[in-house]
């Protein structure tokens, strides 16, 4: 058996046996061993099993390759707003200031809304909150 380090698929495909690679060893099942352990089977049965084994390994390689092509180094996404999280210092230092500003804007907005009539309030909310345009 050749020692193919690339993949389980290559190891199995280029061997006449069915090959299983484990973390600590490689196991080969030859046709003779298969027929000895399975007296009712034929060499055609072994070949069908070998073909199925090759197909399974090939499918696994294709899946792994497809998944590998989807990976992106973290260095490319750490600056994006949607993929990054704030550091621990944000919660302690920046967040309270931001929350205070939001609360102040909310209070000013509430005071301004209180000066409007009910119809004007409803229109304001529909336009600014719900994004609805006035009818013409």
Domain boundaries, the chain: 8-70, 89-136
Query: Could you tell me if 42 and 51 are in contact, meaning their C-beta atoms sit under 8 angstroms apart?
Result: no
- Report how far Cα 38 is from the mean position of its chain's Cα atoms: 42
Looking at residue 4, its pLDDT comes to: 45
Query: Could you tell me if 35 and 43 are in contact, meaning their C-beta atoms sit under 8 angstroms apart?
Result: yes
Residue 136: band (very low, low, confident or very high) from pLDDT cuts 50, 70, 90: low
3-class DSSP state of 20: strand
Looking at residue 100, its pLDDT comes to: 82
Residue 2: band (very low, low, confident or very high) from pLDDT cuts 50, 70, 90: very low
pTM value surpassing 0.85? no
Query: Could you tell me if 9 and 60 are in contact, meaning their C-beta atoms sit under 8 angstroms apart?
Result: yes
- pLDDT tens, 37-85? 999 999 999 999 889 888 888 888 788 776 666 666 656 555 555 555 6
By C-alpha distance, which of 10, 104, 106 is closest to 57?
10
Query: Could you tell me if 103 and 95 are in contact, meaning their C-beta atoms sit under 8 angstroms apart?
Result: no
Looking at residue 116, its pLDDT comes to: 84
């Amino acid at each position: 058996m050749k020692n193919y380090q690339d993949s389980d698929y290559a190891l199995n495909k280029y061997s006449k046996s069915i090959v299983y690679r484990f973390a600590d060893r490689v196991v080969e099942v030859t046709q003779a061993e298969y027929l000895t352990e399975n007296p009712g089977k034929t060499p055609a049965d072994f070949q069908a099993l070998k073909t199925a084994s090759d197909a399974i390994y090939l499918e696994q390689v294709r899946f792994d390759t497809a998944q590998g092509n989807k990976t992106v180094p973290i260095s490319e996404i750490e600056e994006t707003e949607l993929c990054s999280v704030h550091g621990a210092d944000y919660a302690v230092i920046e967040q309270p200031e931001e929350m205070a500003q939001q609360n102040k804007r909310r209070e000013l907005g509430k005071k301004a809304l209180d000066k409007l009539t009910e119809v004007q309030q409803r229109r304001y909310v529909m336009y600014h909150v719900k994004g609805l345009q006035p009818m013409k």
